[in-house]
């Protein structure tokens, strides 16, 4: 069966979560990326991951959400105060946050239950709803995605959106890595669902390269961190399927983290990937080909496109409409790599963009590439000179 692709007009970039919007379907499913970029959207996936949270209460809460009965089961979990900007969580185990705002995974067990929180400034529109800054009554900041469960369009579309959101929550609750955005918890109030996430104050890499011309040293450092996140995922047989600058968020300390796991999927001998899902300009050839299955190597192709995007400050296939780009990708034609890029950068991107997925290096292998280690070598040369 042919993959469904959705056309979406570009929308304004969201500082903490990539912007998406639902649009009428045609033949092929695509979500819009960050500001000033052509439409390229993510198609919903149909996989659900079992929760594996740190705490029994949190695991039970996610299980309730996944049960399909959360419309009624969640009705008693929270209540509003007189101030509409303040939300009080009555089920304390639902919402944990690191003490002192420290998101170091090594210290994750030192977490505190949040009894109340206040909604702050509007950050933008993310997948499924609006994104706000939030603050606990102890002064710790976080991001909160506010989803209107009754406002997701037609019934079939609504069920699909909710299913995709369930999948993202279930997967994020299992992941603990310094280069993956941290999930804190979930709460519901009437027809609103709140998803609490780590606040990434500098927005996405897409918004960053629109403001600054990134140097090779910047891109090298960011690439190394993305690779570390991918190694963590791939070691667990999880394919992200939508790696790009718009889905990589930047912390104020300069660290970057993979985000937006709405179409990520776990693969095993009983589950293979065949659906054409992701953002068109970053899709690997095997993803576009309906006759082929694919795996973690698809993320490596997307990483090559992401590095190219950071260094050139434009999308892969920059002069092509999405349909033209899709045609070239299906034929195994990688985007052009400008000659003005450094030799190491060109070689790194070329290795990622090998048409045959079996020829692409793994994320672990790419971690040893000279382009990724250039900043370390530069520091060592200064120390020994």
What is the tens place of the pLDDT at every residue in 85-140?
A: 455 443 333 466 665 555 555 544 456 677 788 888 887 666 667 888 998 888 88
What is the tens place of the pLDDT at every residue in 20-69?
A: 333 332 233 333 334 334 333 333 332 222 333 344 444 444 444 434 33
Same domain (yes/no): 185, 297: no
User: How many domains does the chain contain in total?
Assistant: 2
pLDDT for the residue 160: 72
Same domain (yes/no): 221, 369: yes
Q: For the residues 344-361, what does the mean pLDDT come to? A: 97
Q: Which residues are annotated as a binding site?
A: 145
pLDDT for the residue 371: 97
Q: Return the axis-axis angle of helices 216-235 and 370-384, rounded to nearest 10°.
A: 120
Among 11, 14, 50, 3, smallest CA distance to 31 is for 11
Same domain (yes/no): 91, 191: yes
Q: Which residues are annotated as a binding site for ATP?
A: 145
| Structural domain contains residue 9 | no
- Separation CA 230–CA 223 (nearest Å): 10
The answer to whether 260 is a known catalytic residue is no
Active-site option among 34, 187, 242, 299: 242
Same domain (yes/no): 185, 261: no
| Structural domain contains residue 8 | no
Same domain (yes/no): 220, 364: yes
Instruction: Check whether 82 has a pLDDT greater than 80.
Output: no
How open is the CA angle 341-229-107, to the nearest 5 degrees? 135
| Structural domain contains residue 109 | yes
Residue 76: domain span? 56-197
Same domain (yes/no): 193, 209: no
- Separation CA 297–CA 30 (nearest Å): 21
Residue 84 maps to which CATH number?
A: 3.30.200.20
Q: Which of 284-288, 309-313, 338-342 has the lowest mean pLDDT?
A: 284-288
| Structural domain contains residue 5 | no
What is the tens place of the pLDDT at every residue in 206-233?
A: 999 999 999 999 999 999 999 999 999 9
Same domain (yes/no): 228, 164: no
Same domain (yes/no): 82, 151: yes
Same domain (yes/no): 166, 218: no
What are the residues whose beta carbons fall under 8 Å from the beta carbon of 77, sequence distance 6 or more? 89, 90, 91, 94, 187, 188, 189
pLDDT for the residue 358: 96
Q: For the residues 327-354, what does the mean pLDDT come to? A: 97
For 23-42, the DSSP string reads --B-SSB----STTS----P
| Structural domain contains residue 176 | yes
| Structural domain contains residue 86 | yes
| Structural domain contains residue 71 | yes
């Amino acid at each position: 069966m042919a993959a469904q692709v959705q056309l979406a007009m570009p929308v304004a970039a969201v500082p903490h979560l990539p912007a998406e919007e639902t649009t009428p379907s045609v033949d092929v499913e695509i979500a819009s990326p960050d500001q000033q970029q052509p439409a390229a959207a993510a198609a919903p996936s149909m996989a659900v991951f079992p929760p594996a949270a740190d705490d029994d209460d949190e695991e039970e809460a996610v299980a309730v959400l996944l049960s399909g009965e959360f419309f009624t089961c969640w009705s008693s979990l929270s209540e509003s105060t007189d101030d509409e900007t303040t939300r009080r969580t009555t089920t304390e185990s639902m919402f944990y946050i690191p003490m002192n705002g420290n998101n170091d995974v090594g210290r994750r067990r030192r977490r505190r239950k949040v009894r109340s929180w206040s909604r702050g400034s509007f950050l933008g529109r993310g997948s499924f709803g609006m994104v706000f800054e939030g603050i606990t009554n102890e002064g710790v900041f976080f991001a909160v995605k506010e989803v209107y469960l009754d406002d997701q369009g037609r019934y079939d579309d609504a069920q699909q959106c909710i299913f995709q959101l369930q999948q993202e929550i279930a997967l994020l609750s299992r992941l603990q890595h310094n280069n993956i955005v941290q999930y804190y918890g979930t709460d519901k109030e009437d027809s609103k669902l709140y998803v609490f996430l780590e606040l990434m104050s500098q927005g996405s890499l897409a918004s960053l390269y629109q403001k600054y011309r990134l140097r090779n040293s910047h891109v090298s450092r960011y690439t190394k961190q993305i690779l570390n996140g991918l190694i963590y995922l791939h070691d667990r047989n999880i394919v992200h399927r939508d790696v790009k600058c718009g889905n990589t968020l930047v912390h104020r300390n300069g660290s970057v983290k993979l985000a937006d796991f709405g179409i990520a999927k776990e693969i095993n001998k009983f589950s293979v990937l065949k659906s054409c899902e992701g953002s068109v300009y970053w899709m690997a050839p095997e993803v576009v080909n309906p006759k082929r299955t694919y795996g973690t190597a698809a993320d490596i192709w997307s990483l090559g496109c992401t590095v190219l995007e950071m260094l050139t400050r434009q999308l892969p296939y920059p002069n092509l409409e999405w349909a033209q780009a899709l045609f070239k990708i299906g034929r195994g034609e990688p985007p052009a790599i400008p000659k003005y890029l450094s030799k190491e950068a060109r070689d790194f991107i070329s290795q990622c963009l090998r048409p045959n997925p079996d020829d692409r290096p793994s994320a672990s292998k790419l971690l040893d590439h000279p382009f990724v280690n250039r900043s370390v070598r530069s520091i060592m040369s200064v120390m020994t000179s």
